[in-house]
Structure 1
Amino acid sequence: MANILKFECIDNARQLGGILAGGRRVKHNKLFRSGNLSKATDHDLHRLRDEFGVHQVIDFRSDFEYMRKPDKLLDGMQSILIPVLDESMHGDAFNKEQVVPATGVDFMEFLFGIARHPIAKTLKDKLYNYFVESDYAHRQYRTFFETVLAQKGAPVLWHCTSGKDRCGFGAVLMLAALGADDNAILDDYAESENSYHKQLEAMSKKGRESGMTDEQLDILHFLVSVKREYMETPVKRINQEYGSLLNFIQKKIGVTQAQIESLRKYYLE
């Protein structure tokens, strides 16, 4: 996919330009999504700021996640923290001490430990249903739209930790508001799988060798990468309950028709 951007230390980065949206196309190099910027090199950041013109960064991570790995930014760049997950999501599945590996713990082994944890079976469904059901998440995504609108067509980048789940649902909503159809939206979401393909392949191989079950390997896939079906499930549910993603954006996220028209004026060609 031509929209993928290669950086030295920013994972899963791409721009949404060229995606068909209601008979028009998203403008190139205006809307960006990625993993977090905590490991970004100076070269990466200069590319974002000076080549692509990104001055506004939106971070969907929690305060706790941000404090552990704050974004690196250059002068003239600013980040706004819009945490998407409420305390129920942080607390129900794993407490903070369990989520964060201790110093010196191999990260791959840490992920294997989560994948083997009995409660991990519910993580995927819990997260993607949360996006559909949570009033808190809806308010936070409304703030996301308001922040993008405030740029008045200037480039903006949003991310979470790996740029696939919270960031991915943000991209789903943004593309739907711009008029993209469900297939184009899901194609963009599924592109994250390619970004983490080599990493996932290595982890899966080691997981099989260590005796992980197919179910545990699927959980590992969810933790590291994506499958199109992950986002297909909430999109189908939204379509059944609200008629379309656009109706959901207006009725539940609270984005007005006037705001949608402004977004299209700013970011479509």
Structure 2
Amino acid sequence: MKLSGFEKLSNTRDLGGIMTNDGKTIKYKKLIRSGRLYFASEYDRNKLLNDYSLKRILDFRNDNEILKTPDPTLQGVEYIRCPILKEHTQVITKEKNIHEVDFEYMKHIIELMDFNVEQSTIEEYPQLLRDEHSILGYKKFIDILLDDVHGSTLYHCSAGKDRVGVGTLLILGLLGVSDEIIIDDYLKTNYYLSERLNYYTQKATEQNLDKKYIEQFSSLCCVKESYIQAVLNNIHANYGTIESYAKICLGITQEDIEKLKQLYLE
């Protein structure tokens, strides 16, 4: 597996090259999934502008998240708010150095999940399919992708794994990618976030954080197949296919689906 090629954007990657069920592939340098861009280096910003001809940024985060770590302004790039959740568990801690690991926040989330992050996440993921605010956000996401630009579109949340993970499932499914490949792409997130997980674990150990918290870090900071499988299971049980879900809940038409394939496949 290749590295992302960015300095400070570890979980930023091109969907190009992913194969569909009918043997086509997603075009390179058209669709980029990512985590927050706040820490992007000058090299990263130039790479997005020059190598990827970035034209649009779709931000899945809410107001609080954006206030804490706003995206950089990139010349010639349209920035579009596309919040997936009205509220999010991330909180503003103005006195906290953004470069420090906020273990108090992580402990709070783990406690809210009753020290079973995996099971809580399995239960929460399918809610992104039926939450009214999420539906509006994902519909806007797909509607924007239907408007072609001569360059790439980057979409992101904070870590680039949960809201982006479900959004990627939807767009890949509409382009005709199999469940198996959707899951495989989702799990690649662990490769790109492994360094962050190791760093968090090391720092927590140095600070003598209780092991019962550290044991939950991998479930909290990375992804598991059970998370995305919960979304697929919900779609298949209630709608049959990702296409059917998008038509029924997001108002996407067959004509829209064909246009997406025309724009993003080769």
Deviation string for 1:159-207 (max 9, x for gaps)? 0011111111111101001000101111111111111112213434565
Q: Take 2:178 and 2:96, find their aligned partners in 1: how far apart are those partners?
A: 45
CA distance in 1, matches of 2:137, 2:191: 28
Q: More deviation in 151-160 or 217-226?
A: 217-226
Match of 2:82 in 1: 82
Give the corresponding residue for 1:144: 141
Point out where structure 2 has 5 or more consecutive residues left out of the alignment: none
Partners of 1:11 and 1:36 within 8 A in 2: no
Gaps of 5+ in 1: none
SS of structure 2 residue aligned to 1:21 = coil
Distance (whole Å) between structure 2 residues aligned to residue 262 and residue 218 of structure 1: 45
Give the structure 2 partner of residue 127 of structure 1.
Answer: 124
1: distance between equivalents of 2:29 and 2:148?
A: 14
Q: Does 1:175 align with 2:172?
A: yes
Give the structure 2 partner of residue 36 of structure 1.
36
Indicate conservation of the 8 Å contact 1:57/1:80, yes or no: yes
Aligned-residue sequence identity (percent) comes to 29
* Mean CA deviation greater in 106-115 or 51-60: 106-115
Measured in 2, the distance between the counterparts of 1:125 and 1:229 equals: 7
Correspondence for 1:242: 239
Q: Distance in 1 between matches of 2:215 and 2:169?
A: 23
Q: Is the 8 A contact 1:22 1:178 kept in 2?
A: no
Cα drift, residue 141 of structure 1: 0.4
Q: 1:254 to 1:74 in 2, by over 3 A?
A: same
Are positions 1:45 and 2:39 aligned together?
no
User: For residue 265 of structure 1, what is the amino acid of its counterpart?
Assistant: Q
CA shift in 2, pair 1:50/1:155, >3 Å? same
- Residues 45 and 73, structure 1, Cα contact 8 Å, conserved in 2: no
* Partners of 1:6 and 1:13 in 2: CA distance: 9
Distance 1:246 1:20 in 2: 17
Cross-structure match for 1:18? 17
Deviates more, 1:246-255 or 1:111-120: 111-120
Q: TM-score, normalised by structure 1?
A: 0.87
Deviations 1:80-124 (A, max 9, x none): 01110024xx3xxx5x6xx33452464252354235424455752
* Distance in 2, Cα, partners of 1:51 & 1:164: 24
Counterparts of 1:217-232 in structure 2, within 5 Å, are: 217=214, 219-232=216-229
Secondary structure at the aligned position of 2:146 is classed as helix
Q: AA paired with 2:220? A: L
Instruction: Output one character per residue of 1:130-172: Cα deviation in whole Å (capped at 9) or x when no partner.
Output: 2122122111101001111112564111000111111111111
Residue 62 of structure 1 deviates from its aligned partner by 0.2
Deviates more, 1:191-200 or 1:120-129: 120-129
Kindly indicate whether the alpha-carbon contact (under 8 Å) linking 1:149 and 1:263 is maintained by their aligned counterparts in 2. yes
SS of residue paired to 2:164: helix
For the residues of structure 2 that align with 1:17 and 1:179, how far apart are their CA atoms?
Answer: 14
More helix, by proportion: 1
Separation of aligned partners in 2, 1:5 and 1:28: 14
Q: Are 2:55 and 2:149, in contact at CA under 8 Å, matched by a contact in 1?
A: no
- Please tell me whether the aligned partners of residues 101 and 200 of structure 2 are also in contact (alpha carbons under 8 angstroms): no
Give the structure 1 partner of residue 6 of structure 2: 7
Question: Residues 161 and 112 from structure 1, CA distance in 2 versus in 1: closer, same or farther, beyond 3 angstroms?
Answer: closer
1:25 aligned partner, one-letter code: T
Q: Distance in 2 between matches of 1:238 and 1:151?
A: 28
Shift of 1:265: 0.4
Count of aligned positions: 258
Equivalent of residue 108 in structure 2, options 107, 114, 121: 114
TM-score computed with the length of structure 2 as normaliser:
0.88
Alignment pair present for 1:258 and 2:255? yes
**2: CA distance, partners of 1:69 / 1:206:** 22
The equivalent of 1:186 in structure 2 is 183
One-letter code aligned to 1:138: I
Instruction: Letter of the 1:12 partner, please give it.
Output: N
Aligned AA for 1:17? G
Instruction: Report the residue type matching 2:18 in the other structure.
Output: I
RMSD: 2.2
